[in-house]
Amino acid sequence: MTALPEMLSPLTVKIEQLLLDPNNPRFSELGEDLNNVSEGRFADEKVQAFTFDKMRADVFDVSELKDTIKTLGFLPMDRMVVRRWRGNPTGTDDKYVVIEGNRRLTALRWLISLHEIGKENFSAEQLNNFTNLECLLLDDEAAPSTASLILPGLRHVSGIKEWGPYQKAKAVYALRKSGLSSQDAAQSLGLSTRAANSAYKCYLALEQMKNDEEYGEHAVPRMYSYFEEVFKRPNVRTWLSWSDDDEGFTEEERVKEFYSWIIPGDDGQSPKLPEAKSVRELSEILSDDSAMNILRSPEGSLSRAVLRFEVDHPEDWYPKVAAAASAVNSLTPDKLRSLDQSTLSSLVELKDKITQALKDRESLIGQQS
């Protein structure tokens, strides 16, 4: 059997020769049946217009792709895969159905239509980039009938591994420092401007830690998530005094204190903020002197500090505990049997936190006696 890559050959086409697939498997995400348009109707103007409109649904994120292509151009490294349109019996009109790349074709058509109505003004060079395309032609006579599902599946199911938050932030930083505006940097990476700006600040915060003589060696990419949580918590961000002008935190003493809480102790003890989401609990106790004094003490821990806070502020936590107890009591045998692994893990985590809180209470009572 011939390998699938050997059934693909380079092909240069005009964008007018490409047809969006009206039976695109993506449309199942819209709750529609597949394979409901006959091959002979694919090139009908209204069929293509209707398919174009469906492809612009929010679920397919074509708008962000359009902005990226507008900023960077259409890059030839990511060629669309096409097959010959079988609905042309005379063979006089070479058209091709897109198997893999319907989002890209939609984005290109969208940009061209905006240019035609005067909402965008592209140069001749840009329009040439959008309309003269390098594709890969599938020999669908030799290829298995499943090829139209296998090829998109290679990309979208097993797919290209998406960048993690740190890698995205590093890319935003590099683009911003190269001279791009925050909006252009965001569009280049298919991000919203707000998300790109947040990533930029988080990256700067981690770089600030990296440049600290005392704590710099601990500023590894996995620490990035701590600063994501910081910027989600306005009171923590304010406590550390973030400055857009200085592109860093300016409250040096507090910054160093925060660093000390997110790294292991000298004797190998776990960090006082053992995971990034611990910043959420720090946010709750930050304005409470008693709780913060416990956190700062040599033997203090976040769980003990939170317990102190909850004892002093029962109105903040008791209703949540009562609601959790009520929810657990409502679990019928049938519900218990059908719990998925994620829900079970949450229940185990809740049990562990309750056990730890009760141990901390006993410890605090012992210190007072």
Instruction: Tell me what the pLDDT averaged over the chain comes to.
Output: 86
Q: Is 96 a domain residue?
A: yes
Q: Is 133 a domain residue?
A: yes
pLDDT of residue 158 exceeding 80, the answer is: no
pLDDT value of position 175: 85
Q: Is 129 a domain residue?
A: yes
81-103: pLDDT as tens digits: 899 998 876 666 689 999 889 99
pLDDT band at 266 (very low <50, low <70, confident <90, very high): confident
Q: What are phi and psi of 51, to 5 degrees?
A: -65, -40
Dihedral sign of CA atoms 99, 100, 105, 106 in order:
positive
Q: Note down the domain range covering 34.
A: 4-156
Number of domains into which the chain is organized: 1
Q: Is 41 a domain residue?
A: yes
Q: Nearest-CA neighbor of 247 among 167, 168, 182?
A: 182
Q: Is 92 a domain residue?
A: yes
Cα–Cα distance list, 330 to 220, 333, 336 (Å): 44, 10, 10
- For tokens 């809740």, the residue is 350
Q: Is 315 a domain residue?
A: no
Q: Is 76 a domain residue?
A: yes
* pLDDT (mean) for 4-29: 85
Which of 6-10, 59-63, 130-134 holds the top average pLDDT?
A: 130-134
pLDDT of residue 277 exceeding 90, the answer is: yes
Angle, CA of 172, 174 and 177, to the nearest 5°: 105
User: pTM above 0.85?
Assistant: no
Q: Is 319 a domain residue?
A: no
* pLDDT (mean) for 161-180: 83
pLDDT of residue 1 exceeding 50, the answer is: no
Cα–Cα distance list, 157 to 26, 109, 161, 338 (Å): 12, 25, 10, 27
Running DSSP on this structure, what letter comes out for residue 244? T
For residues 142 and 2, the answer to whether their CB atoms sit within 8 Å is yes
* pLDDT (mean) for 252-264: 95
